[in-house]
Amino acid sequence: MNLNTLLSNHKSGYREKLVKLLAVKNSLTTAEVESGFKDFIEQHLAEKYTPASLFIEKINSIQTPVLLNIRRGREEGEEFCKICHANQPNVDKVAMKYGDRIEVVEASIDKPDGGALYHIIYYEEAENKMVPLTAVINKGEVLKFWTGVEVKPDEYGEYFDKLVGQV
């Protein structure tokens, strides 16, 4: 799953729903909405997707494999998440084991960038929507993601060992 493709698919699906909703609400055809509300739609999409686009650009620019950790409860005022808290030592162990050969990217589901990316990754595989979401990403490709579970360091290691040449 390529992050840019996931973003594009999510944005396209959201745009389609928005156009249909505006058509129903204003008793118009979708073609009338497309032409009459074009500027509004484009501005709304830009506002909604800019944080995720920038976050994806950041991840894609990283030259090493990435361990993405989208969680809750790390910053003051955020709702506490038991599973997120329990999985954090596993993420930290992976970071220590691989050092600068991988990069750990942390995000909060309660912030625009992390929350948006969480939903974008789930858009096509919306089964068990829970946090944390952890993912192994290499060159913009989501190789594997887990949700709502503690993932043992060895399980992440199955991917990172291959990616960094340690078998």
* Number of CB atoms found within 10 A of residue 89's CB: 11
Per-residue pLDDT in tens (0 to 9) along the chain, 167 residues: 899 999 999 999 999 999 999 999 999 999 999 999 999 999 999 999 999 999 999 999 999 999 999 998 666 665 778 899 999 999 999 999 999 999 999 999 989 999 999 989 886 565 667 889 999 999 999 999 999 899 999 999 999 999 997 54
List phi, psi (to 5°) of 142.
Answer: -80, 110
CATH architecture of 62-164: 3-Layer(aba) Sandwich (3.40)
> What residue ranges do the domains of the chain occupy?
3-59, 62-164
